[in-house]
Structure 1
């Protein structure tokens, strides 16, 4: 397993990841070693590696010097530099940095830029589909001593993430929910009823597909935990898988064997859910009645 993205304060935007990979491709295609590139900038080879791996911001003087070293045309270098300047700008989520744990900052960047998002969720409704009341109850459970204003800031962030759905260029969202997600009463019957109604509404969106995996499925490929699988428009950026590790960390995977393993597991889970609950709308409509009391 490999951590594809840095966590912490330097969690990159997708554009920075793409540009770092382009710089690496340019260096290798010109036959320049890490040490050779480092010598041109009077830095260590580790600095070049960090630039290429999007672990540091793109210093514009460094970028220009590397592009000269790699014999990039003036027009291409100008476009690249402009994109580097854009990549260094903070994302919209910067305003929520106090509500974002270090290890989750890269996730929001990836989510915002993804063309396809596949989610397997064994515990709670996926954040992109949560109602405000449901989100508040879930977050309060995770942060029982959080002051009310800080809690609302976290809730606002979660709902702000949902803005990427439904608009032009919105990603395709595939979600597989464990039945336990829908039967675990979060916030009381009224909150659960509202959450189920929210999910029923999004079933009309052609870009959203939702499946339910019943408890009767028994043991299956996803019992190891949550999976989010990202696919991007940018050809330079390979698919990335996000998995959580305990309560305070996560792993981002981009090595092909890891990615393929998780995609195959997700595909099996999704197929099984479709076979066992072929009519998601009918299932949810019946379940909603159980929370009408």
Structure 2
């Protein structure tokens, strides 16, 4: 996963199966070209399947498994069943009217991750936003959006937040710049309610929130926000970094790239306020918000 705005945003399972196909091909000692000849397609088709850039056509998958020496019917059927599931749209598909294709992959990764680490210098992360704060952020970022589109986007954001209270939720670990708390969004009442939500989040066992105060000075990630996703149940998936821009996003999974972001987060986590001091800091900020 490396480019913003893919033709069809992959689900996590499609990424996993693509990597499994790559492993089976390499184990069989076949090149892209040799695998492609078994399907009478170009080598680019095989590469795109392995990179999860296209859907998994079941006849293609079945033929590839045979080519790679997978002959046990139960193994083939299990793989094909997973491929059918991977091709089904995720729950977020019903929000496709307001959900950019490049962000669909983010929602899929978010729902499958065991650990979500993030640095946010501008806004409260979406998983911790109140509805009113989310409305204000969305209106600022999409001034041409209709009221209905904004409300649909808020509903999507609210539904995403359910993963924090589900059974076996991920650990959300956020380093948030003090700027986030000082930037007035939606008015005093909205900001007070949002800070209350952050204080509440500090008591959740699967949320680790740290504030990077101005007094801490410069830090390794002053260039912009990012997320790092880690997966336990899908060992084929490496850690994935998500970087967003105004018109799309980039997903990085190369080891050296990801390591740079992980190291930045580790250094910032050591530099930012620890969680118990963050809660006290949030309480002081709330008291400063004028009615």
Q: In the alignment, what sits opposite 2:238?
A: 238
Q: Of residues 55, 58, 72 in structure 2, which corresponds to 1:57?
A: 55
Q: In the alignment, what sits opposite 1:48?
A: 46
Q: Is 2:155 the counterpart of 1:187? A: no
Q: Secondary structure at the match of 1:125?
A: coil
CA contact (8 A) 1:7 1:105 kept: no
Pairwise CA RMSD: 1.3
CA positional deviation for 1:274: 2.9
**Which portions of structure 1, spanning 4 or more consecutive aligned residues, are displaced by more than 6 angstroms?**
none
Q: How does 1:1-293 map to 2 (within 5 A)?
A: 4=2, 7-72=5-70, 73-233=72-232, 234-245=234-245, 247-274=246-273, 279-293=277-291
Which whole-Å CA distance do the structure 2 matches of 1:186 and 1:85 have between them? 43
CA separation of 1:6/1:121 partners in 2, compared to 1, >3 Å: closer, same or farther? closer
Q: Secondary structure at the match of 2:159?
A: helix
Which whole-Å CA distance do the structure 2 matches of 1:136 and 1:242 have between them? 23
CA contact (8 A) 2:241 2:261 kept: yes
Deviations 1:62-120 (A, max 9, x none): 01101111111221111101000000000011111121123212111111111100010
- Greater displacement, 166-175 / 119-128: 166-175
Which whole-Å CA distance do the structure 2 matches of 1:9 and 1:200 have between them? 40
For normalisation by structure 2, the TM-score amounts to 0.96
Which whole-Å CA distance do the structure 1 matches of 2:59 and 2:15 have between them? 18
CA positional deviation for 1:187: 0.2
Unaligned runs of 5+ in 1: none
CA contact (8 A) 1:8 1:105 kept: no
Which whole-Å CA distance do the structure 1 matches of 2:67 and 2:86 have between them? 21
Which whole-Å CA distance do the structure 2 matches of 1:270 and 1:98 have between them? 37
Which whole-Å CA distance do the structure 2 matches of 1:260 and 1:45 have between them? 31
Which whole-Å CA distance do the structure 2 matches of 1:132 and 1:214 have between them? 25
Which whole-Å CA distance do the structure 2 matches of 1:70 and 1:98 have between them? 40
Unaligned runs of 5+ in 2: none
CA contact (8 A) 1:203 1:210 kept: yes
For normalisation by structure 1, the TM-score amounts to 0.95
CA contact (8 A) 1:11 1:55 kept: yes
CA positional deviation for 1:146: 1.3
Paired residues in the alignment total 289
